[in-house]
Homo-oligomer: A and B are copies of this chain.
Amino acid sequence: MTATIAAGHTILDPGQVLDTPVMVVDEGILHQNIAEMQGFANSVGVNLRPHIKTHKSPQIARLQLQAGAVGITCAKLGEAEVMAREAGVQDILIAYPIVGQPKIERLLSLMDQVHMTVAVDTLDAATALSNAVVRAGRTLDLYLEVNTGQDRAGQRAGEEALALGKAIAALPGVRIVGVMTHEGHAGASEPDLIADKAKAAGLALVETADLLRRAGVPVTTVSVGSTPSSPFTPTIPGVTEMRPGTYVFNDNTGFRHGRMGPDRCAARIAATVVSRPSPDRAIIDAGSKALAMDPSPSHPGHGFIIGHPDATIARISEEHGVVLLPTEDEPGFSVGDRVEVIPNHICPTINLTDELFIVRDGKVIDRWPVSARGKVR
């Protein structure tokens, strides 16, 4: 695929001195990405509830809400606690099972502050939630998580999900207000299969919602996920909500979907060449502690170096990126030179950094804390 990918443009002025490695975010590309996805959601008539796992930044959550998002999606309570406190978010979905007494207590506390909805995919978890909210004299909204092919969490679409949904609907204190799926398997497919797999997943979810309604469970929200499938699932009649995350920044994995090149990637690791042990090999100061270890399906190696589509970050250890150069005279790889790298998968990369350095017109103009970084609980 490399031959079809543009070389891209750096976002930092060469004269901007920065200690590296550092995550830099171009404000213009960020705003463009947010506006475009919101415009798409509006145009197809679905609500946008972005997953904040990609940015973990209260500032960016606020930009998404200002653009028209109906609320946000979080994976963990710790992320929701940060976003409720620091971004003033009023409507939060935890797209993840809540299991265990410590988490149930934190959920009840969050319910005092914001409207919470929680994903559920087992009767065990739903029963524990039911018991807790009844004791607290509260009512909790649930999304039934449905497996539409990813085979991660969720009961299988159709009869299995219906049976669980009916059992949960009989519990006191909780109400199933929606169904959700994460059709991540579509995005992980070969590019020419994504559309078909995404549509099949979306249709299976809509049909499951219909089964539940016919059984008397008043499902109103039908919620789909993921940036790679975002052109396909939200347009299915009956889908009412989308939860993409990656689109705010985009990444190297996204190249494969053919909808963007490097210049739509807002977040890059600025790194420095720290050694040039041989003519064909340069060492940059971004390894797995800056770039994460996730592979890319679209480009060999551990990231895409802006301006050098044929250079490969062939190996990374924690602090070293070993770059194999296409020719010995490839410019820009002397000791001290700076490169910008688009990570393979932006979400885990953001989880490695405490701050985003915000760039406007080539200059760093602000630093935003990644306040929800590391909130695994």
Please encode chain A, from 126 to 154, with 1 for each CB lying within 8 Å of some chain B CB and 0 for all others: 00100000000000000000010001111
A281 within 8 A of B: yes
Size of the chain A interface, CB-CB below 8 angstroms: 63
Select from chain B the residue with minimum beta-carbon distance to A101: B17
Q: How far is the CA of A153 from the CA of B275 in the complex (A)?
A: 7
Classify the interface of chain A: helix, strand, loop or mixed.
loop
A87 within 8 A of B: no
Select from chain B the residue with minimum beta-carbon distance to A154: B277
Q: A312-356: which residues lie under 8 A (CB-CB) from chain B?
A: 315, 317-320, 322, 334-336, 347-348, 351-354
A217 within 8 A of B: no
Report the minimum CB–CB distance from A61 to chain B (whole Å): 18
Q: How many identical chains are in the complex?
A: 2
Given contacts A76-B319, A100-B336, A152-B320, contact A20 B377 (CB under 8 A): yes
A374 within 8 A of B: yes
Q: How far is the CA of A293 from the CA of B122 in the complex (A)?
A: 27
**Which residues of the partner chain B approach A283 to less than 8 Å between Cβ atoms?**
97, 152-153
A residues within 8 Å of B by Cβ? 17-22, 53, 75-76, 96-97, 99-103, 121-122, 124-125, 128, 147, 151-156, 184, 272-277, 281, 283, 285-286, 288-290, 292-294, 315, 317-320, 322, 334-336, 347-348, 351-354, 374, 376-377
